[in-house]
Amino acid sequence: MHRRKDIYGDDADEFRPDRWETLRVSWEYLPFSGGPRICIGQQFAITTMLALAARFWQTFEAIESRDDRPMLYKVSATTSLMNGCLVGLTAA
């Protein structure tokens, strides 16, 4: 659903964050569902990821790509890199 060309346009598979600047999102993005049957773990998941991100940036000053290969994506229920991604971390 998150790559539907009728919702996001012909370039739905391209990374274009500017598309979200004017888009009014309602039910198009459904990782936790919504309404009366919304996932009860939504707030826990979001809070956990925010805490993880905060701790990550307290521990590391910089993150950089160490991979010269082009990024090839595997698209299924989730999107991942086919060959992984080599990164370098600089301690804070």
What is the average pLDDT across 5-28?
80
pTM of the model: 0.53
- pLDDT tens digits, 9-18: 888 888 888 8
d(CA 66, CA 48): 27
Q: How many helices (H) and strands (E) does the chain have?
A: 2, 4
Confidence band of 1 (pLDDT split at 50, 70, 90): low
- Ramachandran region of residue 84, left (φ > 0), alpha (ψ -120 to 50) or beta? left
